[in-house]
Amino acid sequence: MKILVTGGAGYIGSHTLLQLLGARHEVLVIDNYSNSSPEALVRVKKLAGSGFKICEGDILDTCFLNTVFTEFQPEAVIHFAGLKSVGDSNRDPLEYYTRNVSGSIGLFRCMQQHNCSRIVFSSSATVYGEANYLPYDEAHSLSPTNPYGRTKFFIEEVIRDWVRSWDGSSAVLLRYFNPVGADSSGLIGEDPTGTPSNLLPFVSQVAVGRLDKLIVFGDDYNTRDGSGERDYIHVEDLARAHLAAIEYSWENSGCEAINVGTGRGATVFETIEAFERASGCKIPFQCAPRRAGDIASSIASVRKAEQLLGWKAKLNLEQMCQTAWNWQKNNPYGYVSTV
């Protein structure tokens, strides 16, 4: 298949490229490098041992998009490009609605103009909001609690209406739980700008000596040990889910939202212990009050992914921590370490 990948230089995009190239799909990446480095794509090419086209540009630039679609004529799109910080979205919601929602609508319009009717979209478990029951299945009510989450919710709704209006079109909305880890080569991985807000990158940077200690946000939740519980999913498993989803979209029409997680939760304390075992490094931490907007537990029901995509997570928390550590110790400052 000819697949256009927006945001392909990013954390999840770069790992997904490896899967797509491994399955011999023809790929073109669009990225404006606002939150990534071209070096990630250099390394993907090296790892995959095969090439793909790269066009630097912004999905908000409709002229640019039109040229890319005219020249490449993609049969399907995997849409990663977007902003993803919950904190920034609270500070500047209009930027988030413009980049994520308007940017996506411009992309969909271009797809329609060029008769490209298949899409896999990066959604998020954050669309569910506070849990009425666990694990979250895809029928759980949607009630995101921050502007970032609402951009994902609105884009899902736009895609649903769009697919309904276009016979034969197909969309898979992948609701990622908590993606972590890195490719086992240690050549590509998560490279956040500034101080990380997510747990695993923060712990990795403590282990490598960039940060002094972890602050555990809340030890009084109603969980096994009082700390927050999440369904961490290895980025390699997540990347495989994209391959399964794009192939599903080739065979099927209509719109499906599908959770991507393991169906198992790990608390913050369990994650610290797993990382200590994987790295041999002690992670100093200090408990502090809960972080505003956090929930106690988030765990995916993974039945639909198994049933529709024939996909299941294979890698466990130890492997997530080992690969995250392998990436961090080989690239202590991310992609700039070696550029």
Cβ neighbour number for residue 51 with a 10 Å cutoff: 10
| 140/161 Cα distance (integer angstroms) | 19
Picking from 178, 132, 171, 179, the residue whose alpha carbon sits closest to that of residue 155 is 171
Please identify, among the stretches 9-17, 68-76, 87-95, 217-225, the one whose residues bind ligand NAD according to the rule CB under 6 A.
9-17
Cβ 53 to ligand WQD shortest distance, Å = 28
User: Is position 335 an interface residue for ligand WQD (rule: CB under 6 A)?
Assistant: no
Is the Cβ of residue 124 or residue 262 nearer to ligand WQD in the bound state?
124
| 74/41 Cα distance (integer angstroms) | 19
Residues numbered 231-290 forming contacts with ligand WQD, rule: CB under 6 A: 268
Phi, psi dihedral angles at 249 (to 5 degrees):
-65, -25
Q: Catalytic residue numbers? A: 148
Residues numbered 64-93 forming contacts with ligand NAD, rule: CB under 6 A: 80-82, 84
3-state secondary structure of 33: coil
Which x/- pattern over 108-147 shows residues binding ligand WQD (rule: CB under 6 A)? ----------------x-x---------------------
Name the amino acid, one letter, at 33: Y
Is the Cβ of residue 102 or residue 289 nearer to ligand NAD in the bound state?
102
User: Is position 324 an interface residue for ligand WQD (rule: CB under 6 A)?
Assistant: no
- Residue 138 burial (10 A CB sphere; 0-12, 13-18, 19+): middle
Cβ neighbour number for residue 282 with a 10 Å cutoff: 10
Is the Cβ of residue 268 or residue 320 nearer to ligand WQD in the bound state?
268
Maximum pairwise Cα distance, the chain:
56
| 23/40 Cα distance (integer angstroms) | 19
| CB-based contact 14:40 (threshold 8 Å) | yes
User: Is position 315 an interface residue for ligand WQD (rule: CB under 6 A)?
Assistant: no
User: Is position 10 an interface residue for ligand NAD (rule: CB under 6 A)?
Assistant: yes
Q: Give me the residues that bind ligand NAD (CB under 6 A), please.
A: 6-7, 9-13, 30-36, 58-60, 80-82, 84, 99, 103, 122, 124, 176, 179
Q: Give me the residues that bind ligand WQD (CB under 6 A), please.
A: 84, 86, 124, 126, 178, 197-199, 202, 214-217, 228, 230, 268, 291, 294, 298
